[in-house]
Amino acid sequence: MRKISLLGATGSIGRSTLDVLRRHKDEFELCAAACGSDTHGMLAIVREFRPKMVALYNQKSALELSKILAGEGIKTEVLSSEQGVCECAIAPGKDGITLCAIVGSAGLPSALAAVKNGITVALANKEALVMSGRLFFDEARAHNSRVLPVDSEHSAIFQCLPSECQDTIGFCDLNKAGVSQILLTGSGGPFLKLPLEDLAKVTPKQAVSHPVWSMGPKISTDSATMMNKGLEFIEARYLFNAPDHMIKVLIHPQSVIHSMVSYKDGAVMAQIGRPDMRTPIARALFYPDRADAGVEPFDFTRAPSMQFMDPDFKRYPCLKLAMQASLEGQGATTALNAANEVAVDAFLSGRIGYPDIASVVSDVLSSERPGTVYTLDEIMQADRAAREAARKAVEERAC
């Protein structure tokens, strides 16, 4: 049995992963799980899977869970704080796998801890790469850790690349593999057709109602602004060692194709399937094999007709900001990510309007000029400075 640790176990990706694990109880042992503060979500996981250890970042929630478990006579060890989450990240050991699905920058320390311990990492937490891409892959190479993408577009690209590239993720030679372009597709979110002047009136409820995917509130808002595609642009750059000019963002509202790779001879490889995260999760967990993920087969006779278009940066200024930050480097992408997290949080709690998300991020990027950003300390310092600047920008706009 292969050991697996699930970080972000109570979230949307966490639940989809548990569903895949339930179908393969003889192949995987859930040895550790971590979340933020959802005591009851974690309690249900412990009762069902009996992991050796769990961590809740929030100390009060961790204490509450340990009391309940003691009352039920369950021996699972309950840890807390970032250190506890990092211990869960390394629990599977070198032959195991850690699935990183904590949302936002909070997921970086534990993902890095897994990589530094030579563990295979199935990575959903794209923010970790946006913040630390170069360091992340340098550490992965130094410690012989394999990184497998879980984000659906990156899983699609991974599947469309030859095995030499799959085996050298982070350092692959796309030119040698004959690749001419990576085509990163996105649905365009719920406001693809909304008149531009109506964007100012958009509510959090409308923003999190994604037309195709069912996801957590932060990534759903990022999908509406297409910041998600911007973060994925940066993620693709690091995962596939791709220069910016080799990645093209394409809007594809039906989300039938999950991304494509275009080759020099004119061939285009596409990965097609239902929009269900269990497919890319299973691809990473069972790699290089394939296994049942509980996903219905794709029915071509009932598929919608497919459309493709270039993104309009007036509608999606966040995408443009992310692509610019990508050109500037890790200091700018870290600042972009931090500012976006603060702005999305302020939007979801009703403090700023929808168009303010892009303007807060833009203000922070034009004011913050971090120097060299490579080590974890430098990244966290750039992250803190950008958050501070973003909070000020939010205050100036607060409704």
Binding site for ligand NDP (CB under 6 A): 8-14, 34-38, 41, 57, 85, 101-103, 106, 124-127, 151-152, 213, 215-216, 218-219, 277
Instruction: Tell me whether residue 103 or residue 224 sits nearer to ligand NDP (CB atom).
Output: 103
Partner that binds at residue 127, options ligand NDP, Mg ion, none, CB closer than 5 to 8 Å by kind = ligand NDP
CB 94, min distance to Mg ion, A: 28
CB 87, min distance to Mg ion, A: 28
CB 156, min distance to ligand NDP, A: 12
CB 16, min distance to ligand NDP, A: 7
Number of residues that this document lists for the chain: 399
Q: Closest-CB residue for Mg ion?
A: 151
Spatial separation of the C-alpha atoms in residues 87 and 103, rounded to whole Å: 18
The 10 Å CB-count burial string (b at 16+, else e) for 244-275 is eebbebbbbbbbbbbbbbbbeeeeebbbebeb
CB 54, min distance to ligand NDP, A: 11
Q: Closest-CB residue for ligand NDP?
A: 11
Partner that binds at residue 120, options ligand NDP, Mg ion, none, CB closer than 5 to 8 Å by kind = none
Spatial separation of the C-alpha atoms in residues 328 and 334, rounded to whole Å: 11
How far, CA to CA in Å, does 375 sit from each of 58, 342, 371, 380, 388?
26, 23, 12, 9, 20
Partner that binds at residue 125, options Mg ion, ligand NDP, none, CB closer than 5 to 8 Å by kind = ligand NDP
Instruction: Tell me whether residue 124 or residue 389 sits nearer to Mg ion (CB atom).
Output: 124
Closest-CA residue to 275 (of 306, 308, 298): 298
CB 164, min distance to ligand NDP, A: 26
Instruction: Tell me whether residue 151 or residue 356 sits nearer to Mg ion (CB atom).
Output: 151
Instruction: Tell me whether residue 343 or residue 363 sits nearer to ligand NDP (CB atom).
Output: 343
CB 44, min distance to Mg ion, A: 27
CB 292, min distance to Mg ion, A: 22
Instruction: Tell me whether residue 84 or residue 280 sits nearer to Mg ion (CB atom).
Output: 280
Partner that binds at residue 11, options Mg ion, ligand NDP, none, CB closer than 5 to 8 Å by kind = ligand NDP
Instruction: Tell me whether residue 18 or residue 332 sits nearer to ligand NDP (CB atom).
Output: 18
* Contact residues for Mg ion, defined by CB under 5 A: 151-153
Instruction: Tell me whether residue 128 or residue 160 sits nearer to ligand NDP (CB atom).
Output: 128
Q: Cα Rg for the chain, rounded, in angstroms?
A: 20
How far, CA to CA in Å, does 260 sit from each of 88, 183, 232, 257, 383?
34, 5, 14, 8, 32
How far, CA to CA in Å, does 7 sit from each of 18, 73, 82, 189, 235?
11, 24, 12, 27, 19
Partner that binds at residue 345, options Mg ion, ligand NDP, none, CB closer than 5 to 8 Å by kind = none
Beta bridge partners, 183, equal 248, 260
Instruction: Tell me whether residue 117 or residue 279 sits nearer to ligand NDP (CB atom).
Output: 279
Instruction: Tell me whether residue 124 or residue 325 sits nearer to ligand NDP (CB atom).
Output: 124
Spatial separation of the C-alpha atoms in residues 24 and 311, rounded to whole Å: 40
Partner that binds at residue 331, options Mg ion, ligand NDP, none, CB closer than 5 to 8 Å by kind = none
CB 215, min distance to ligand NDP, A: 3
Closest-CA residue to 255 (of 131, 362, 152): 152
